[in-house]
Amino acid sequence: MVEIFNTHNKWYKGNLHTHTKLSDGLADPDKCIEMYKNAGYSFLAITDHRKLYKGKTEKDFLLISGVEFDINDYDSRRAWHIVGIDLDDKTSIESILEPGGTELTPQYIVDSIIRNNGLAILAHPFWSLLTYKDIMELDGCLGIEIWNTVSDFMSNRGDSTCYIDVCASKGIYPHIFAVDDTHFYSGDLFGGYIMVNSESLEKNDIIKNIKRGNFYSSQGPEIKQIYVSKDRIHVETSPVEFIAFMTDTFYCRDRIYRQENGLITEGTYIIKDTDRIVRVECKNAQGRRAWSQIIPIGL
160 in a structural domain: yes
Please give the residue range of the domain that contains residue 145: 9-219
In the listed set 185, 219, 253, which residue is the last one of a domain according to the structure? 219
pLDDT band at 174 (very low <50, low <70, confident <90, very high): very high
pLDDT score recorded for residue 264: 98
In the listed set 219, 235, 257, which residue is the last one of a domain according to the structure? 219
Q: How many domains does the chain have?
A: 2
Q: Which residue has the higher pLDDT, 74 or 56?
A: 74
235 in a structural domain: yes
The lowest-confidence range among 82-91, 157-166, 169-178, 195-204 is: 82-91
pLDDT score recorded for residue 128: 98
Strands 289-291 and 256-258: unpaired
210 in a structural domain: yes
Q: Kindly report the CATH number assigned to the domain that includes residue 73.
A: 3.20.20.140
Rg (CA), the chain: 19
**CA-CA distance, 207 to 191, in Å (whole number)?**
22
pLDDT band at 299 (very low <50, low <70, confident <90, very high): low
Looking at the chain, the number of H-run helices and the number of E-run strands are 7, 19
Determine whether 230 is exposed, middle or buried from the number of CB atoms within 10 Å of its CB (0-12, 13-18, 19+): exposed
Give CA angle at 204 (199, 207), nearest 5°: 90
For the whole model, what pTM was predicted? 0.97
pLDDT score recorded for residue 146: 98
- Domain co-membership, 91 together with 59: yes
pLDDT tens-digit profile of 97-109?
887 767 789 999 9
1 in a structural domain: no
**CA-CA distance, 71 to 150, in Å (whole number)?**
18
Note whether 234 and 266 are within 8 A (CB).
yes
The lowest-confidence range among 14-23, 83-92, 110-119, 286-295 is: 83-92
CA atoms within 13 A on the CB side of 84: 31
pLDDT score recorded for residue 82: 98
Cβ neighbours of residue 172 closer than 8 Å, sequence gap 6 or more: 135, 136
pLDDT band at 175 (very low <50, low <70, confident <90, very high): very high
CA atoms within 13 A on the CB side of 173: 16
